[in-house]
Amino acid sequence: MNTLVRRAVLSLTIVAFLLTPLSAEDWFRWRGPNLDGISSESDWDCDWPEGKAVIAWRASVGIGYSSVVIADGRVFTIGHVDGHDVVHAIHESDGTIAWRFQYPATLDDRDFEGGPTSTPTVDGEQVYVLSRAGELFCLNVGTGESIWQQSVAEQADVRLPGWGCSAAPLVVGDRLLVNLGAAGAVVDKKTGELIWSSEDRESGYATPVVMPDSNPPAAIFASGKAYVAVEIETGRQLWSERWLTSFNCNAADPIISERRMFLSSGYNRGAALFELGKEAPKLIWKSKEMKNQIHGSILYEGCLYGLDGDMEAGARLRCMDWKTGEVRWSEDDLQPGGMTLAGGRLILLTESGELLVAPADAEVWRPIAETKVVEGKCWTGPVLSNGRIYVRSIQGELVCIDCRS
Amino acid sequence: MPNQLHRRQAMQATLAWAGAAVLANRTERAHGFLNANDRPRIGAVGTGSRWYQKATGVDSQYGSAPSMRQLGDYTAICDADAYRVGLASGIAKEWSGAAPKASADYRAILDDKEIDIVHISTPDHWHAKIAIEAMLAGKDVYCEKPMTLTIEEGRLMSKVCKETKRVCQIGTQQRSNPKFIQAIALIRAGRLGDVKKATCSIGGAPTSPELPIAEPPKTLDWNLWQGPAAETPFRYLAGSNGETKSWSRGHYEFRWWYEYSGGKLTDWGAHHCDIATWGLGKTETGPVSVDPVMVEHPVEFKDGYPIDESRYNTATKFLINSTFADGKEIELRHDQGNGILFEGTKGRIFVNRGRLTGTPVDDLKGNPLPADALKSVYKDRELTDHFRNFMIACQDRNDPISDVHSHHRALTTCHLAGIAARMGRKLKWDPKAEKIVGDEQAQALVDRERRKGFEIEV
């Protein structure tokens, strides 16, 4: 294909994409189709009379922190049940089980409730699952049958981070990026065969992020002690930004926008914005006012919306100016458990299971709807897809709220 | 005259075990010797951490000696530090059962007719003099990298090696690592197309605080340690934080001083620039221009020399481009981790000690290299470790895998990068005449004056 033709096809594709109604969208991977924590769906209701939402269904999916992904009418998540981690595929329409796939796993509840912490990734006919022990499973999206399974940790011969693997696998072309080792590992998505791995040092907990416009393509991996940019083809390091946190806990995905990169960690570490160029990142500002312990912030219209502080002590919901790091507002008493953004509205789940909706407004936090949807502790961010909001508790109650108008 | 050279035994000392080697070849043994009496006798000059870290009082298996001693016996030990002579002698005795001859002066080893091989692990500024004298004395040499302190020393070593027909292996052991051999084989098979550029990520040097003048350790002969380098006071500062044990102008840390080394440009440069030069097929020539695009030194330089003598002075950050007559490039840089990226018209590969990656590597599954591709790169010998390769070369009298001549060419690029960094300007190099063109001040750094009594006499 010559360049002109390719450009024409590309333009048509973009036009076609823009013309697609934004009312429904599969949230098929961690942080959504655009990897930014934002759903473009705007055609959904949060008109909850007397605080009562329409609960479409409830399901029990086992103990854990795994978020949900949605593709082709099915909802996928992982939970721990009796010595196994169970991958659930649930019909979006009625909450009935389409299939289950399980692998042996320990609950491993040191310091927290335990269970799986990573989120599955759907890619066409496959769903990929990474266990805390560093095993990777490729399952048939329709049947749950195992297509291949590999222990990436063993193949790469690298140690697991203290609380096990929690990043979602990221598909880039024919490759699957896994956050394991000093600067990630990459396997062939068709076979699970290891293509490259990095040195035997602790990884962090964030999901790899592709650097936009990088040529050759590159991704950023959170290690225990740094955020490292590497070429996806070779694993060659482009730069490493030292980022030390207590317990090597770099868990928030880096946010990249217009040649700028935002990093943030909890345990009193704080945040910083960098300029990305050909060489190592250059610091623009740093701040102690946004400490993302386990949830990445969301960048929307020039502001970061994020949870600041450690969850155990009670985090604050904050809005921060992207360019300057200035705190625009801070809500200190909400006890937030997780958050997403859809159609210009923030959807916040509190630790105790209340769902709040408020316009993403850089001036003020002003909720317009509130409903209590689940009992128990919630630390997993809510997800909106195809007009439905999904909420799960750590104990494994998954609730589907019908918000279709 | 402390520098008197003894040539009387040249070409004779190795006869005893060379004879055994012929026998060994006849029985088609790939390597090794028929009985303990035929094992080569090795003299170690310099017994610091590269020889065997245990000999510095640190409990570590790091070093060349544990491998080398499988293939020969250390029958003589020499170091300017009596403490290390003591520890190394004890270790050598444990290995071979017999106490080695011990001395501070390496000439005792060159004079010893019983010695077949000289293993040089001194600081860089001593390498060439000892290696040249050892070859002239008829010894085969295993010299740890980087081979030299200056370009001129490399020219001399190459000349003497040819004239004496000695076997001299440089300790760039990446040349015996299958990953690097495979990388070269991929390039030679055309899997990358025309390879235009090799980028070597080799790290930057550390900095130090101001180091006060201090008494050298009682066991160290500071005058002998300095040898050909200009005389200067010893400096030392104990580390104040947990990260650095100490800073010094001596053992191990010599590599962060231009007076004794080239910093990272020659420390890791000797490894990666060697592979880059090999891969680009430039082992018999050199660049025509060297451009210090970006260089940071921890101290100020004037006319190529540091003006503060109390701190480490080698480059902490750099990006230095060397271009060959046909436009091919070698880039030396401090960042981007550690390894070499080869970029060709059809593909790119990345190689370091941990990995060999890139689409041409992935393609090997469906399209493997011919069966003899690796052997062909490895100078038609079977792949083995770097020390065995050396011993086999000592028997068959052909060049070992890391020969003096190609290493001299690769290291010339590193030395030129160092000179360009120190001068802070772009250099033109005539690879045939081996001279810097149109810059007398820079050309003066191609060689160095050696202290009286430590000259190299050929």
Q: Looking at the structure, do residues B151 and B213 belong to the same domain, yes or no?
A: no
Looking at the complex, report in whole angstroms how far the Cα of residue A198 sits from the nearest Cα belonging to chain B. 8
Determine, yes or no, domain membership for B209. yes
Residue B372 pLDDT: 95
**Residue A196 is nearest to which of B337, B348, B357, comparing CB atoms?**
B357
Determine, yes or no, domain membership for A5. no
Residue B38 pLDDT: 72
Determine, yes or no, domain membership for B371. no
Structural tokens at position B403: 């020969």
Residue A167 pLDDT: 97
Determine, yes or no, domain membership for A267. yes
Q: Is the pLDDT of residue B31 over 70?
A: no
Which residues of chain A lie closer than 8 angstroms to B362, CB-CB? 195
Structural tokens at position B253: 């840390």
Residue A278 pLDDT: 81
pLDDT digits (tens, 9 = 90+) for B285-317: 999 999 999 999 999 999 999 999 999 999 999
Which structural domain, as residue segments, surrounds residue A232? 21-402
Q: Is the pLDDT of residue B28 over 90?
A: no
> Least CA distance to A278: which residue of chain B?
B336
Q: Which residue has the higher pLDDT, A269 or B33?
A: A269
Q: Looking at the structure, do residues B270 and B329 belong to the same domain, yes or no?
A: yes
Query: What is the rounded average pLDDT for all residues in chain A?
Result: 93
> Least CA distance to A182: which residue of chain B?
B337
Q: Looking at the structure, do residues B279 and B424 belong to the same domain, yes or no?
A: yes
Per-residue pLDDT band for B32 (boundaries 50, 70, 90) equals: very low
Pairing between β-strand B195-201 and β-strand B117-120 as defined by DSSP bridges: unpaired
Determine, yes or no, domain membership for A102. yes
Domain boundary among B173, B188, B210: B173
Residue A7 pLDDT: 52
Determine, yes or no, domain membership for B206. yes
Which residues of chain A lie closer than 8 angstroms to B203, CB-CB? none
Q: Looking at the structure, do residues B112 and B249 belong to the same domain, yes or no?
A: no
Q: What's the CATH code of the domain at B299?
A: 3.30.360
User: What does the buried/exposed string (b/e) look like for B342-353 if buried means 16 or more CB atoms within 10 Å of the residue's CB?
Assistant: bbbeebbbbbbe
B420–A contact, CB cutoff 8 A: no
Determine, yes or no, domain membership for B146. yes
Residue A110 pLDDT: 87
Which residues of chain A lie closer than 8 angstroms to B348, CB-CB? 216, 233-234
- Residues making up chain B, counted from first to last: 458
Which residues on neighbouring strands pair with residue A58, listed in sequence order? A399
Looking at the complex, report in whole angstroms how far the Cα of residue B385 sits from the nearest Cα belonging to chain A. 23
Query: What is the rounded average pLDDT for all residues in chain B?
Result: 91
Q: How many CB pairs under 8 A join A and B?
A: 38
Using the beta-carbon criterion (under 8 Å), do A234 and B336 form an inter-chain contact? no
Q: Which of B362, B364, B365 to mutate to test the interface with A (most CBs of A within 10 A)?
A: B362
Looking at the complex, report in whole angstroms how far the Cα of residue A73 sits from the nearest Cα belonging to chain B. 36
**Residue A403's closest CA among A59, A47, A99, A67?**
A47
Q: What's the CATH code of the domain at B134?
A: 3.40.50.720
Residue A23 pLDDT: 66
Determine, yes or no, domain membership for B348. no
C-alpha to C-alpha distances, B333 to A239, A294, B338, B385, B421, nearest whole angstrom: 12, 35, 10, 28, 12
Average pLDDT over residues B162-170: 97
Q: Which of A231, A236, A240, A282 to mutate to test the interface with B (most CBs of B within 10 A)?
A: A236
Secondary structure, 3-state, chain B: CCCCCCCCCCCCCCHHHHHHHHHHHHCCCCCCCCCHHHCCEEEEECCCHHHHHHHHCCCCCCCCHHHHCCCCEEEEEECCEHHHHHHHHHHHHHHHCCCCEEECCCHHHHCCCCCCEEEECCCHHHHHHHHHHHHHCCCEEEECCCCCCCHHHHHHHHHHHHHHCCCEEECCHHHHCHHHHHHHHHHHCCCCCCEEEEEEECCCCCCCCCCCECCCCCCECHHHHHCCCCCCCCEEEECCCCCCCEEECCCCHHHHCCCCCCCHHHHCHHHHHHHHHHHCCCCCCCCCEEEEEEEECCCCEECCEECCCCCCCCCCEEEEEEECCCCCEEEEECCCCCEEEEEECCCEEEECCCCEECHHHHHHHCCCCCCCHHHHHCCCCCCCCHHHHHHHHHHHCCCCCCCHHHHHHHHHHHHHHHHHHHHCCCEEEECCCCEECCCHHHHHHHCCCCCCCCCCCC
Residue B33 pLDDT: 45
Which residues of chain B lie closer than 8 angstroms to A214, CB-CB? none
Residue A277 pLDDT: 87
Which structural domain, as residue segments, surrounds residue B246? 199-338+405-446
Residue A405 pLDDT: 84
- Range name among A4-18, A20-34, A377-391 with the lowest pLDDT average: A4-18
Using the beta-carbon criterion (under 8 Å), do B350 and A280 form an inter-chain contact? no
Average pLDDT over residues B415-419: 98
User: What single-letter amino acid sits at B323?
Assistant: T
Q: Looking at the structure, do residues B238 and B142 belong to the same domain, yes or no?
A: no
pLDDT digits (tens, 9 = 90+) for B121-140: 999 999 999 999 999 999 99
Determine, yes or no, domain membership for A347. yes
Residue A213 pLDDT: 86
Determine, yes or no, domain membership for A2. no
Determine, yes or no, domain membership for A141. yes
Determine, yes or no, domain membership for A197. yes
- Range name among A48-52, B3-7, B252-256, B260-264 with the lowest pLDDT average: B3-7
Question: What SS3 state is found at A90?
Answer: strand
**Residue B336 is nearest to which of A196, A199, A238, comparing CB atoms?**
A238
Neighbours of A333 (CB within 10 A): 7
Looking at the complex, report in whole angstroms how far the Cα of residue A165 sits from the nearest Cα belonging to chain B. 22
Residue B26 pLDDT: 31
Looking at the complex, report in whole angstroms how far the Cα of residue B337 sits from the nearest Cα belonging to chain A. 5
**Residue A237 is nearest to which of B336, B349, B362, comparing CB atoms?**
B336
Determine, yes or no, domain membership for A13. no
Domain boundary among B173, B191, B211: B173
Residue B20 pLDDT: 36
Q: Which of B355, B356, B363 to mutate to test the interface with A (most CBs of A within 10 A)?
A: B355
Per-residue pLDDT band for B29 (boundaries 50, 70, 90) equals: very low
Residue A11 pLDDT: 52
Percentage of residues in chain A having pLDDT higher than 70: 94
Residue B65 pLDDT: 97
Looking at the complex, report in whole angstroms how far the Cα of residue A230 sits from the nearest Cα belonging to chain B. 9
B348–A contact, CB cutoff 8 A: yes
Q: Looking at the structure, do residues B303 and B433 belong to the same domain, yes or no?
A: yes
Q: What's the CATH code of the domain at A168?
A: 2.130.10.10
Name the residue with tokens 């019983």.
Answer: B114
**Residue A235 is nearest to which of B201, B335, B357, comparing CB atoms?**
B357
**Residue B336 is nearest to which of A199, A233, A236, comparing CB atoms?**
A236
B357–A contact, CB cutoff 8 A: yes
Average pLDDT over residues B237-260: 88
Which residues of chain A lie closer than 8 angstroms to B354, CB-CB? 198-199
Average pLDDT over residues B72-89: 97
> Least CA distance to B200: which residue of chain A?
A236
Number of structural domains (chain A) is 1
Average pLDDT over residues B70-97: 96
Looking at the complex, report in whole angstroms how far the Cα of residue A155 sits from the nearest Cα belonging to chain B. 13
Residue B243 pLDDT: 64
Per-residue pLDDT band for A20 (boundaries 50, 70, 90) equals: very low
Percentage of residues in chain B having pLDDT higher than 70: 91
Q: Looking at the structure, do residues B163 and B273 belong to the same domain, yes or no?
A: no
**Residue B421's closest CA among B208, B264, B272?**
B264
Residue B37 pLDDT: 57
- C-beta of residue A134 within 8 angstroms of C-beta of residue A154: yes
Using the beta-carbon criterion (under 8 Å), do A233 and B359 form an inter-chain contact? yes
pLDDT digits (tens, 9 = 90+) for A253-277: 999 999 999 999 999 999 999 999 8
> Least CA distance to B352: which residue of chain A?
A236
Average pLDDT over residues A305-333: 96
> Least CA distance to A183: which residue of chain B?
B337
Determine, yes or no, domain membership for B246. yes
B366–A contact, CB cutoff 8 A: no
Determine, yes or no, domain membership for B380. no
Q: Looking at the structure, do residues B251 and B302 belong to the same domain, yes or no?
A: yes
Q: Which of B350, B352, B353 to mutate to test the interface with A (most CBs of A within 10 A)?
A: B350
Looking at the complex, report in whole angstroms how far the Cα of residue B299 sits from the nearest Cα belonging to chain A. 23
Q: Looking at the structure, do residues B213 and B133 belong to the same domain, yes or no?
A: no
> Least CA distance to B362: which residue of chain A?
A195
Number of structural domains (chain B) is 2
Q: Is the pLDDT of residue B25 over 80?
A: no
Q: Looking at the structure, do residues B210 and B291 belong to the same domain, yes or no?
A: yes
Q: Is the pLDDT of residue A172 over 80?
A: yes
Q: Looking at the structure, do residues B304 and B428 belong to the same domain, yes or no?
A: yes
Q: Looking at the structure, do residues B149 and B203 belong to the same domain, yes or no?
A: no
Which residues of chain A lie closer than 8 angstroms to B339, CB-CB? 236
Phi, psi of B31 (to 5 degrees): -165, 175
Determine, yes or no, domain membership for B350. no
**Residue A233 is nearest to which of B201, B335, B358, comparing CB atoms?**
B358
**Residue B337 is nearest to which of A197, A236, A279, comparing CB atoms?**
A236
Using the beta-carbon criterion (under 8 Å), do A235 and B355 form an inter-chain contact? yes
Q: Which residues of A touch B (CB under 8 A)?
A: 183, 195-199, 216, 231, 233-240, 279-280
pLDDT digits (tens, 9 = 90+) for B186-213: 999 999 999 999 999 999 999 999 999 9
Using the beta-carbon criterion (under 8 Å), do A236 and B357 form an inter-chain contact? yes
B201–A contact, CB cutoff 8 A: yes
Using the beta-carbon criterion (under 8 Å), do A234 and B349 form an inter-chain contact? yes
